[in-house]
Amino acid sequence: MIRNRTAIIALLTALNFINYLDRYIVAAVLPPLREELLLSPTEGGLLATVFLLGYFVTSPIFGSLGDRMSRKRLIAAGVFVWSAATICSGLATDFWTLVTARAFVGIGEASYATLAPTIIDDITPPEKKGKALAIFFLATPLGSALGYVLGGQIQAHWGWREAFFVGGGPGILLAFTVLLIDEPVRKVHDVVKSSIAATIGTLMRIPLYRRAVLGYCAHTGAIGAFSHWAPTFLVDRYSGASIASEAGKAALASASFLFGTVTVVAGAIGTFLGGYLSDRSVRGLPSVDPSAGHEDLANRVAANAQLRVCMIGVAIAAPMTALAFFMPSQALFFTCAGIAEVGLFMSTAPINAIMLRTAPAFLRASAMAVGIFMIHLLGDLWSPTVLGMLQETLPITLAMMLLPVGFAIATYIWFPRRSEAT
């Protein structure tokens, strides 16, 4: 059995790395994939939408199950399903077989993304939760970046199908390792027996939780469309080559590699900076004895302080993304985009800590699940498709201006309200 806290966090972080690698391979190979399967820009955007449909529809189910039964078994099943479905994506023969595979990738990832952070939360002391979640979510930029790099390089040398085969293999091998985790025992509360709809209602009536989730919806919608279309934007804006040509394939591989590299560096800086600032924002707050009945107030004060970190990050990202899309060269684009990504990833650790902190302890798996459900329902479920539709009537540069608007909305929603911390 795996009982060491560091070993458990390392294993879950490694799987989160593979999670995001599998998720973003499709963005790296999207142009040749569309070329072979004859997909329109709207259908290219729908590949992200159907993935997220499977992801967000099933996340509340896994959250409810995770509050009642073994989380490690649900996680292991999810890892196996998403990895097998990634391999099946490479076997697709048309739009419908591909979207079916992507939907099952979403279902598998929903189990993992919902439940893995709750295990880390259970085994980590309060003063170290920000750092632990920052380590776990560091896999987001690193895995996403490798998805771009690996997908771009493999499709350039062997083809887009092979990229999915390589991406799905490691998860198949590692899925069963999760069963070795010595899962922390939690006290089951009667509230978890209520319906999913009632649980969502209970959580969304918590003001700080609700505002954290709504801001995350705007953040996720914009960043989801950005990540899905970025390699395509770079080829269209700066190369001018047909994707069917050797020059076009080389340009796509180069764009995916550069975008992945910038995401690794900026994402790592932003994630660690956000985790550090998240822990620092609550370090000076007075400690509260839970037995005295003031734990809820302490959580609200801490969550409000952490929300300020999230707000600062998106306030940086909004103007920098707007500038990036109009830069005359790739070098200037990546300079602006890199600064924006630092700001975007600053919110990764604190926003997840806030969702866990503001929910009752016996509903934390459900709190993660409801958060995932809402950010995709109101966020990136639709944004890649909407951006694809805009490209059919507008130049891609103007279409991309939808994204900084989303970051500006998140800035407003996340701006701290003193009244919610008292």
What is the pLDDT at residue 341? 92
Identity of residue 294: H
| Position 191 pLDDT exceeds 50 | no
Rounded Cα distance between 103 and 224, Å, is: 16
Tens of pLDDT, residues 372-387? 788 878 888 788 888 8
Rounded Cα distance between 142 and 267, Å, is: 7
What is the pLDDT at residue 241? 60
At residue 393, φ and ψ (nearest 5 deg) are -125, -15
Q: CB-side exposure of 204: number of CA atoms within 13 Å?
A: 14
Which residue in 158, 140, 132, 134 sits closest to 7, CA to CA? 132
Name the token pair of 21.
């690698």
Tens of pLDDT, residues 58-73? 877 887 787 777 888 9
Average pLDDT of the chain, as a whole number = 82
Rounded Cα distance between 215 and 379, Å, is: 10
Q: Residue 162 contacts by C-beta under 8 Å, 6 or more apart in sequence?
A: 90, 154, 155
Under the banding of pLDDT at 50, 70 and 90, the label for residue 418 is low
Name the token pair of 308.
């300020």
Under the banding of pLDDT at 50, 70 and 90, the label for residue 240 is low
**Helix, strand, coil share of the chain (percent; to 5):** 85, 0, 15
Which domains does the chain possess? 5-184+192-285+293-421 (1.20.1250.20)
Q: Which is higher by pLDDT, 24 or 332? A: 332
Under the banding of pLDDT at 50, 70 and 90, the label for residue 407 is very high
Q: Among the residues of 358-401, which ranges form H helices?
A: 364-375, 383-391, 396-399
What is the pLDDT at residue 315? 96
What is the pLDDT at residue 87? 92
Q: CB-side exposure of 37: number of CA atoms within 13 Å?
A: 25
Under the banding of pLDDT at 50, 70 and 90, the label for residue 284 is low
Under the banding of pLDDT at 50, 70 and 90, the label for residue 336 is very high
Classify the C-alpha dihedral 229-233-239-242 as positive or negative: positive
- Summarize the confidence of residues 35-53 as an average pLDDT: 84
What is the pLDDT at residue 229? 83
Q: Residue 82 contacts by C-beta under 8 Å, 6 or more apart in sequence?
A: 19, 22, 104, 105, 106, 107, 108, 109, 112, 171
- Summarize the confidence of residues 16-37 as an average pLDDT: 85
Apex CA 79: angle with CA 346 and CA 214, to 5°? 35
What is the pLDDT at residue 97? 93
Rounded Cα distance between 220 and 375, Å, is: 6
Rounded Cα distance between 78 and 82, Å, is: 6
